[in-house]
Homo-oligomer: A and B are copies of this chain.
Amino acid sequence: MTQDTLNVDVVIIGAGPAGLMAGTWMAQTGVNTIIIDKKPYRTQFGHADGIESRTFEILDSFGLGENVWKIANRTIDLSIWNDRELGGIQREALLNNCNPGLSHFQEATLGQGEIEQNFLDFIESSNSVSVKWNTCPIDLMLCKASDHPVKLDIETRTSETEFIHSTICAKYLIGCDGARSWVRATLGLDLEGDRMNEHWGVVDSIPLTDFPDIRKRCIIKAKAGHLMIIPRERRLVRCYVQLSPEVATAFRTKVDPGILVNIIRSILSPYSFEASSVEWSTVYSVGQRLCTSLSKYSRVFLAGDAIHTHSPKAGQGMNVSIQDTYNLGWKLASVIKGKAKSMILRTYQDERLLVAMRLIAFDKRMVEVICRKDPDLSMKGRLPIKNSLKDTLREENTSASGLEVHYKPSCLISRTWESKTRRLASPMLPHSRSELAGNLAVGARFHDAQVLFQCDSRPCNLQHVLRSTGEWHLLVFGGDILCSAQMERVRRLGVELSQEGSLVNKPDPNHDDRVGRIGIYLIHCTPRKNVEIIGLPEIFRPFDETTGYDYWRVFADNEPYGEGLGDACRLYGIGTEGCMVLVRPDQHVAFIGALEDLSAIKLFLGNFMTGL
């Protein structure tokens, strides 16, 4: 029997958050892609529900952030409860569960299905990506010589008993098929690490309770057991409750959420607790396991739970999974479109393995501080909560939030002169002068700040300029251009950027494909009333015969409404002499140089980009 064969650029196995994030990149960049999933439709209830601020930023860079932010539930308060000597429980501390300075988004909760729906809506509005439900992978072959080296046999269920077999030939495959990944197994890889002996039950319900902190995130350590409360969208609340092996087995046999509700009630006693409208419940056993190979031949990639499994304690899983393929997607699109050499694909392994290792280590600490009963605490009663719990929770809202992921030097991240590890990058490649932006770190995600459009004083978040389109962003911090010497430096840079053979592709309004291009923006710190946009080099306000000048590439780092200076440059540690910051398509800082360092940037980009 001959089988249908479909040629695509990318095949993605698994339409969960990691797979759909990868699909979203492919939809955004117009890369011909198919996503298969054995499920008949997206996640309806339950599963992951924590969204970190970095994930919101990523969604926002595709225009999906506000929608999700609007329906998600912000968990601002974190309440710690423990035993009372006379029985019952008492509130021990009420902490902030957020870190407002780090992002314009904050941690929030929303069922995984809603996130998936937002990705699916985005994907469906494109014409390059399709999703095939009810479809399993059957066989995978890699023939290195071919232009489409990935050959994947699949089986699509069309009814209870009928299946259709077909073959997908692809340039690349991304395995986002979860903790029991078929792709990982087929590649002969495995998760390493231990299964621990902790069992937890999960219930999503609308609670009927007089427990006063039910709309706050809670960690409750009572004699009757340990409980975590996660308030959610609508009136839902998720409860995680620690179970004995016997109770876990009982639940798995009966699948009766009443078993979990009874334990929750006894932990919360003397407060009342009933679960109305139980939407989802399950039992899981905690284990932290890791696959240290994230790709094979840079043709097959693994992402998400396929490479890291852990407890849901800190709501990290969906975030790191989305961030995995957010890292991979633009690299694949750039290579597929011939804009970058395939060497950049190797950075996926280096950049994301370190994140996965940190995730596993962090989750171990988190489980430790939440599950273990502290002996001091139970003996002395009203002790302040242990520093280890506080520290771990603080870590969750900073480095573990994804905001402080810091990629190491590679072909895509320049080394800095201060850098002590000179192993990864070639010594011939230019170095960043990171002292010019003392508070920006090369390799870290570009921190958001508000500036004003020079043309009309509207406020603009710089991160909104860094949309995820596959384009790189060259932010020219011009400094104080009222100073004529400084203006002369900006002018000279403008001339260099405008020259034939410059790294800037001339804007072409009929050509929407921005993959591999470099967008140029000027941010100055002169009071905006003293700057005439038309007096600036034309590269910063390019002219088009149909649409006129592009007025939206020049920003004043000023206070809105007033005359005073803004605080973007102060935030970034950039002085009046300015600098250039080159930002990758995934918002990570790749290079920092002086206004005269255009040739260094060209050398850096020329190493991996084609046609420069």
Contacts and interface: CB of A to CB of B under 8 A. Distances in A.
A546 interface: yes
B277 A546 contact: yes
B206 A532 contact: no
Contacts of A546: 206, 276-277
A612 interface: no
Contact of A77 (B75, B456, B548): B456
A74 interface: yes
A23 interface: no
A534 B206 contact: no
Interface string A447-480: 0000001011110000000000000000000000
Nearest to A458: B74
Nearest to A274: B548
Contacts of A98: 561
A215 interface: yes
B76 A547 contact: no
A482 interface: no
A533 interface: yes
A138 interface: no
Contact of A276 (B73, B216, B548): B548
A437 to B, nearest CB: 28
Contacts of A75: 456
A593 interface: no
Contacts of A100: 560-561
B456 A96 contact: no
Interface string A69-87: 0000111110000000000
A534 B210 contact: yes
A561 B96 contact: yes
A393 to B, nearest CB: 15
A456 B231 contact: yes
B277 A206 contact: no
A209 interface: yes
Contacts of A96: 561
A107 to B, nearest CB: 12
A534 B212 contact: yes
Contacts of A458: 73-74, 76
Nearest to A96: B561
Given A546-B276, A547-B206, A456 B215 contact: yes
Nearest to A234: B547
A317 interface: no
B208 A548 contact: yes
Most B CB atoms within 10 A — which of A75, A210, A277? A210
Interface in A509-540: 529, 532-534
Given A231-B456, A456-B76, A534-B210, A94 B548 contact: no
Interface residues of A, number: 41
Interface string A179-216: 00000000000000000000000000011111010111
Interface in A195-248: 206-210, 212, 214-216, 231, 235
Contacts of A77: 456-457
A96 B208 CA distance: 52
A294 B455 CA distance: 43
A162 interface: no
A206 B548 contact: yes
A545 interface: yes
Contacts of A208: 543, 545, 548-549
A551 interface: yes
B76 A548 contact: no
A215 B76 contact: no
A270 to B, nearest CB: 12
Nearest to A533: B212
A455 B213 CA distance: 7
Contacts of A455: 214-216
Interface string A28-59: 00000000000000000000000000000000
B456 A74 contact: yes
A468 to B, nearest CB: 19
B547 A235 contact: yes
Nearest to A97: B457
A215 B457 CA distance: 9
B209 A548 contact: yes
Contacts of A534: 210, 212
Nearest to A454: B215
A534 B77 CA distance: 17
Nearest to A94: B529
Contacts of A545: 208, 276
B548 A207 contact: yes
A276 B561 contact: no
Contact of A532 (B73, B212, B457, B529): B212
Contacts of A210: 534, 549
Nearest to A532: B212
A560 B100 CA distance: 10
Interface string A282-299: 000000000000000000
Contacts of A206: 546-548
Contacts of A277: 546
B212 A76 contact: no
14 contacts: A73-B458, A76-B457, A76-B560, A77-B457, A94-B529, A98-B561, A206-B548, A208-B543, A208-B545, A208-B548, A209-B548, A212-B533, A214-B455, A215-B453
Given A206-B547, A277-B546, 5 more contacts: A66-B66, A100-B560, A209-B548, A210-B534, A215-B551
3 tightest Cβ-Cβ pairs between the two chains A and B: A215-B455, A215-B456, A76-B457
